[in-house]
Chain A
Amino acid sequence: MSKLKSTLWRTLAGAALAATALGAQAQEKSLTLCWAAWDPANALVELSKDFTAKTGIQMKYEFVPWPNFAQRMLNELNSKGKLCDLLIGDSQWIGGAAQEGHYVKLNDFFDKNGIKMSDFMPATVTGYSEWPKKTPNYWALPAMGDAVAFTYRKDWFARPELRAEFKQKYGRDLEAPKTWDEFKQVGQFFQNRTIDGKKVYGAALYTERGSEGITMGVTNALYAYGFEYSNPAKPYDMKGFVNSAGAAKGLKLYKELYDTVTPPGHSNAYMTENLDAYKSGQVAMQMNFIAFFPGISKDPQVGGEKTGFFAIPKGDKQFAQLGGQGISVVKYSDKQPMALEYLKWFAQQSVQKKWWDAGGFTCNQAILNAPGFDKSTSYAKVFLDSMKMVKDFWAEPTYAQLLLAMQNRVHDYVVAGKGTPQAALDGMVKDWTEVFKEDGKLK
């Protein structure tokens, strides 16, 4: 009896050891990819099945909802956590991540594997990969091209009675606006109008205060009238660039739009709130990142022929706020070789093509410039047009302080109605100067 018991125990222990070893082996052959929880992440899950099939490396995912994404992931990096082997991090993080050594520098890897940055759209290389900017130091592979643009209710714009009324009022056809003045007119035209028995409004704009929302919205109007982050000839020299008369004009316009074309209570809205307002049929136009456009195209309420897309309108100039991300290998990962293998696989043109087809946004020039690309989907042209005119917020290691200062100043003026546009921008220069002084960039 005791012999039998002992044999049983040995067998069980052996099985447990074998199971542990197999588990450990399976653990060894897996990668964790961290990103925000949104539609493109689901597309990437589907796409990555090919990578697993080819290499046997299992993919795990840590997708965090947008409102908590930055805080969760930056905490992870700052605490040198090993959760993420690969991280698709926001473009603004690149300076801090490079300086603090959170990301693996990829130059040697790119050279060794024939991955050329010239294969990717220049704006995305600058925005998602380089630090310091405009230098060939790469910390990420451009992964998800994105910018702010607009959707509009094509079906409402096509209504004969509305078209006639609009033509009579403004002397032109009711079409997707090309300038900010036209945008204001169209927005005000739809504001408080009743369509199909329901009160509707002009446009859903970004107004969120807590993270980066209103900045990602207002910059589109600021850029259009001459706002610059600093003197192109003298870095961090902001006076007359951040708070130029043109910038003040852009800010004033955004406030006017907030006051006259947004739905009531649209005072703290970002990506999700704008999607909700648009999909529920509250607004005629919606500002949002292009990454959401495939989802809108497929939406049963507003998708298909009901929705059209247009790029950020023109003022004196025309620029769109850059969104999007690059994919980086986390320095604290124990699986860097496998993570680099994933990058090598992802950079292939054939995979990039599948990425676009799956609903992701490739930055590969050969695919973007291929004949017929702009007609491949209803939003492809807007994506192409937008990516040619993007500008990004500061990617400095101190970007969070710079961003929150702008959030406060702009929200105080646009939403809370405090002070003047000039005072808000002057205040921003003051705050940003203080941050750069503290960081040693300014004396």
Chain B
Amino acid sequence: MKPRFFMQWRQPAVAAAVSQEAAGSAPPASALAPAKGHKPVHQGLSDRALAWLFVGPTIVLLLAFNIFPLLWTIYLSFTNFRANKPNAEISWVGISNYQRVLGDEAIWLNMRTTAHFLCWSIVLELLLGFALALLLNRRFRTHSFWSTAILLPMMLAPAVVGTFWKYFFEPQYGIFNYIVSFFGGPEKFTMLGDVNLSPWAIVLVDTWMWTPYVMLILLAGLRSIPPYLYEAAEIDRASEWTKFWRITVPMVMPFIILALLFRSIENFKMFDLVDQLTNGGPGSVTELASIHLKREAFEKWRTGYASALAIILFVAIYGMSLVTVRFLDKVKQR
């Protein structure tokens, strides 16, 4: 039963069609299509006005908080503006900020660090996420509890996770050293203070936090595979490995690529977790591009230069996403 005002608001022909539908008979297609030359009679707003009413605020917000800052950043990237010199004149410097960014050795080091973090964390998250998804896809007795428990890390704020793990890795009283030594590892080592270990500490924490997210996506993928495919394979006496390799993996592949896309974008711009955990140190070994950007923009106040760097990073993320989406389309078309 539709509310009365709903019926009144609709065009008479549509209302009649809806009534017909409610009565059990299919409405004629012409009833739902707008009649030629017929001027809709509304008691309230027109369709167009209503559409603007819904979409308008979103467009205004989008322009105010996304498009305008983006255009402003593009403008600033061609100037020598510094946010700590609000009274100084802004001069146009052409592409020199871009030249400086691309010629800066430190940026390439940061990009290499970012790539290292990105690759390893995504590989580990996909492997572990897939394994967990396969496990939880078998409906055992307590699987609901475990599904929820596994999801807990991703529900925490990255800054909180960073702070929490910093204490966890603390060599004097952190539990991480205790666990490692319990299993026969060295008694005291400094995970965050060691140049060789600290990049892995970040990969480890990110994997801990975001594997459940990957698992969730892949679990959805596993649940979407029609059971008859496995039944047919069983009739053909296919082995477990064949079923996994020939059915599961291809069917889940779009979801894997989707997870890869989401995690790549997120990890490329990862900031708060690393900021809390190592703040880019020791030395500069964990200084990701995003950390470097923050230092340039809000500590060194080189706003124009930082804007150019932000645009370059934006283009890199956009390009990476575009390639992944194209790949995803190809996989889906197979």
Contacts and interface: CB of A to CB of B under 8 A. Distances in A.
Interface of A: 71, 74, 78-80, 96, 100-101, 209-210, 263-268, 282, 397, 400-401, 404, 408, 411-413, 415-418
Interface in B204-263: none
B279 A74 contact: no
B190 A265 contact: yes
A100 B278 contact: no
A265 B299 contact: no
Given A100-B84, A264-B171, 4 more contacts: A79-B86, A404-B295, A411-B284, A416-B285
B317 to A, nearest CB: 25
Contact of B284 (A96, A266, A408): A408
Main SS class of interface, B: loop
Contact of B188 (A79, A264, A416): A264
A100 B281 contact: no
A176 B188 CA distance: 29
A264 B193 contact: yes
A416 B195 contact: yes
Contacts of B85: 100, 397
A209 B282 CA distance: 8
B283 A416 contact: yes
A100 B87 contact: yes
Interface string B266-281: 0000000000001111
7 contacts: A100-B84, A263-B171, A264-B171, A264-B190, A266-B193, A267-B281, A413-B283
Contact of A282 (B172, B188, B189): B172
Contact of A404 (B83, B285, B300): B300
Contacts of B300: 400-401, 404
Interface string B160-198: 000000000111100000000000000011101101000
B200 interface: no
B281 A268 contact: yes
Given A400-B300, A404-B295, A415-B193, A267 B282 contact: yes
A400 B299 contact: yes
B302 interface: yes
Range, interface on chain B: 20 to 34
A400 B87 CA distance: 18
A96 B82 CA distance: 12
A265 B193 contact: yes
Contacts of B171: 263-265
Chain B CB count within 10 A is highest, among A96, A263, A401, for A401
B279 A209 contact: yes
Interface in B292-322: 295, 298-302
Contacts of B193: 264-268, 415
Nearest to A269: B193
B131 to A, nearest CB: 32
Contacts of A415: 193, 281-283
Contacts of A101: 87
A400 B84 contact: yes
Contacts of B83: 78
Nearest to B298: A71
Nearest to A402: B300
A209 B301 CA distance: 18
A267 B84 contact: no
A412 B295 contact: no
CB-based closest 3 A-B pairs:
A416-B283, A267-B193, A265-B171
Contacts of A401: 300-302
Interface of B: 83-87, 169-172, 188-190, 192-193, 195, 278-285, 295, 298-302
Nearest to B291: A210
B299 A412 contact: no
A100 B86 contact: yes
B195 A78 contact: no
Nearest to A435: B300
Contacts of B281: 209-210, 267-268, 411, 415-416
Contacts of B279: 209-210, 268
Nearest to A201: B172
A263 B284 contact: no
Contacts of B298: 71
A209 B285 contact: no
A379 B193 CA distance: 33
B302 A268 contact: no
A401 B298 CA distance: 11
Nearest to B195: A416
Contacts of B285: 416
Contacts of A417: 195, 283
B170 to A, nearest CB: 6
A209 B280 contact: yes
A267 B280 CA distance: 12
A404 to B, nearest CB: 6
Nearest to B189: A264
B136 to A, nearest CB: 37
A95 to B, nearest CB: 11
Contacts of A412: 283-284
B280 A71 contact: no
Nearest to B300: A401
Given A265-B171, A400-B299, A411 B87 contact: no
A416 B279 CA distance: 14
Nearest to B188: A264
Nearest to B106: A408
Contacts of A100: 84-87
B180 to A, nearest CB: 13
A413 B283 CA distance: 7
B301 A400 contact: yes
Contacts of A411: 281-284
A326 to B, nearest CB: 19
Given A264-B188, A400-B299, A418 B283 contact: yes
B42 to A, nearest CB: 41
Given A268-B279, A400-B299, A263 B172 contact: yes
A265 B191 CA distance: 8
Nearest to A419: B283
B166 to A, nearest CB: 9
A265 B170 contact: yes
A29 B53 CA distance: 47
A282 B188 CA distance: 15
Nearest to B287: A408
Contacts of B188: 264
Contacts of B302: 401
Contact of B86 (A78, A264, A282): A78
Contacts of B299: 71, 400, 404
A281 B279 CA distance: 26
B278 A268 contact: yes
Given A100-B87, A210-B280, A411-B282, A265 B301 contact: no
B84 A78 contact: yes
A408 B285 CA distance: 11
